[in-house]
Amino acid sequence: MQFETLAIHDGQAPDPQTGSVTVPVYQTSTFERENLEHRGEFFYSRIGNPTRKALESTLALLENGRFGLAFASGVAASLAALQVLKPGDHIVAGLDIYGGSYRTFEQLMRPWGVNTSYAESESTESYEACITPETKLIWLETPSNPLLQLTDIRAISRIAKERGILVAVDNTFSSPYFQKPLDLGADIVVHSTTKYLGGHSDVIGGAVITSDTLLHTKIKNYQGAAGAIPAPWDSWLILRGLKTLKIRMKEHEASALYLAKFLEQHPAVEHVFYPGLTSHPQHKLAKQQMSGFGGMLTFALKGGLPAVEKFIARIKLFVLADSLGGVESLIASPAKMTLGPLSDEEKRRRKCTDNLVRLSIGLENAGDLEADLQNALSEG
C-alpha cells in the first residue's frame, strides 16, 4: 500500500470494542491483570500503552521499518538511540547538525566516555577520514540544519557496513514522505515528531525506528528503564498529524521551492540554500535520495546582522520562533537562536554566519508569503 494509505489505516484500525474510527486516548497509568500468573499485552503505561503503540506501529510503517518507538521529545529519542553504544566507543557525526544533538554529543556522551568527531556534512570522504578503530556509529542529519547540506546516505551506509559500523539518520527535516533512510541502508532513523510529523506546533515528541531486532530490543529496554515516553494524549496528537503528512509535505515543498526561486533572484539576497534549486551543489544527490526537497530553506542576506535585524523587524506573517515543520511559517536566525550557545569559533567552523536567515515554510498562500518577504526586503 502507498504511504498516505498506510498513514491512515494500518497501525490504527477502528477500536474493536466500540468501533471508534480514531484510536482512543487510553488515559490510564495501569491495566488490570487477569491473575498473578497472567497479564495482557499492557500492564503499565511507561512500558506500553495502546495509543502509543498505534503511533509506534504507524511510524514504523511510514519509514519502511519493522519497529517504532515513541519518546517524549526528539532529544530523548536521540539519546535513546545512542544507548546502543558503550563507553569507549566513538561516533562520527556531521558538522552541520541540530544544536541539541551537538549538545548531547558534547555534554552527555563525552563525559560518559563516548567521543564524537565531526565530518564535513556534504563529504563522504570526510566521514571516512574521521573513522577510527573505535567508531561504532555514524550519525547523519541530511538535509542538515541550518545549511541544508546533504550527506550521501547510501555511500556512507556502504562504507559503514564494511566495517561493522552502525548508521543513524536524523530524518526530521525530510520526514519519511520525502526520504526513507532505512531503504538507503541506514540502521536507525531518529525523528523529532515535534516538527513535520506532529505538524501543528502543538506537541513535543520524538521517535526511533529500526528493522534490526537486537537494536530495537536494546532501545526499547532503555525506553522503559529511562522513562522518557510520550503521554497518551501527545501520542494521539502526533498520530493525527501523520494522517495528513503527505498533503502537508507536498504543499510545504511547493511553496518552499517557489520562495527559494523568488529569494534567489532578489538583489538583497547573497545566497539561497535549498536542495531543490539547481544551483544547490548537491541537487543531483537530492534527486537521487529524496523524493522531494522539503519545506526548509536558509538564505544569506547582504549587509550582515544589521540587515537580518531589519528584515526580522519588518516581517509580518513569518513568526520569529525556534521550531519548524508546523502549518505556520516561522523565521529564525541560526547564529542568534538555535546555534546561539555555540562559541564564535564553533560557529565559524560550521559556517554559521550571522547573516543567515532560516525559514520554515508553512501552509499559508505562497503569494502572501512572497509579498511578506518582498516587503521585508525592500528599502526604506
Ligand X SMILES: *Cc1c(COP(=O)(O)O)cnc(C)c1O
**How far lies 268's CA from each of 276, 336, 358, 364, in Å?**
21, 20, 15, 24
Query: Per-residue x/- marks for ligand X, 136-165, CB under 6 A?
Result: -----x---x--------------------
Q: How far is CA 189 from the centre of its chain?
A: 9
135 near ligand X (CB under 6 A): no
58 near ligand X (CB under 6 A): no
- Beta carbon nearer to ligand X, 173 or 299: 173
Distance between CA atoms of residues 69 and 79, nearest Å: 13
Q: Which listed range, 67-75, 122-130, 214-222, 262-270, lies at the site for ligand X (CB under 6 A)?
A: 67-75
- Beta carbon nearer to ligand X, 195 or 246: 195
172 near ligand X (CB under 6 A): yes
Distance between CA atoms of residues 242 and 252, nearest Å: 15
Q: Which listed range, 49-57, 152-160, 168-176, 238-246, lies at the site for ligand X (CB under 6 A)?
A: 168-176
Shortest Å distance, C-beta 170 to ligand X: 5
Q: Which listed range, 29-37, 93-101, 146-154, 178-186, lies at the site for ligand X (CB under 6 A)?
A: 93-101
Q: Which phi and psi (to 5°) does residue 314 adopt?
A: -90, -20
User: Which one of 52, 53, 136, 195 is the catalytic residue?
Assistant: 195
Distance between CA atoms of residues 28 and 73, nearest Å: 20
* C-alpha neighbours within 13 Å on the C-beta side of residue 191: 34
**How far lies 137's CA from each of 6, 80, 115, 211, 308, in Å?**
30, 13, 11, 16, 37
- Beta carbon nearer to ligand X, 135 or 142: 142
Interface with ligand X in residues 188-207 (CB under 6 A): 192, 194-195, 204, 206
Q: Which of 170, 253, 354, 372 binds ligand X (CB under 6 A)?
A: 170
- Beta carbon nearer to ligand X, 156 or 169: 169
Q: Is 170 assigned a catalytic role?
A: yes
Q: Is 195 assigned a catalytic role?
A: yes
73 near ligand X (CB under 6 A): yes
Buried b (16+ CB within 10 A) or exposed e, 152-190: bbbbbbebbeeeebbbbbbbbbbbbbbbbbbebbbbbbb
102 near ligand X (CB under 6 A): no
- Count the helix, strand and coil residues of the chain and give each as a percent rounded to the nearest 5: 40, 15, 45
Distance between CA atoms of residues 360 and 296, nearest Å: 5
Distance between CA atoms of residues 235 and 368, nearest Å: 33
User: Which one of 170, 234, 354, 372 is the catalytic residue?
Assistant: 170
User: Which one of 46, 154, 218, 310 is the catalytic residue?
Assistant: 46
Tell me whether strands 188-192 and 206-210 are parallel, antiparallel or unpaired.
antiparallel
Shortest Å distance, C-beta 104 to ligand X: 9
- Beta carbon nearer to ligand X, 40 or 341: 341
Q: What is the dihedral of CA 68, 69, 75, 76, to 10 degrees?
A: -160
- Beta carbon nearer to ligand X, 90 or 195: 195
- Look at the chain and count its residues: 380
75 near ligand X (CB under 6 A): yes
Count the residues of the shown chain that bind ligand X, applying the rule CB under 6 A. Answer: 16
Q: Which listed range, 16-24, 95-103, 274-282, 362-370, lies at the site for ligand X (CB under 6 A)?
A: 95-103
**Could you tell me the three cell numbers for 228?**
522518557
Would you please indicate which residues are annotated as catalytic (active-site) residues? 46, 98, 170, 195
Binding site for ligand X (CB under 6 A): 73-75, 98, 100-101, 141, 145, 170, 172-173, 192, 194-195, 204, 206
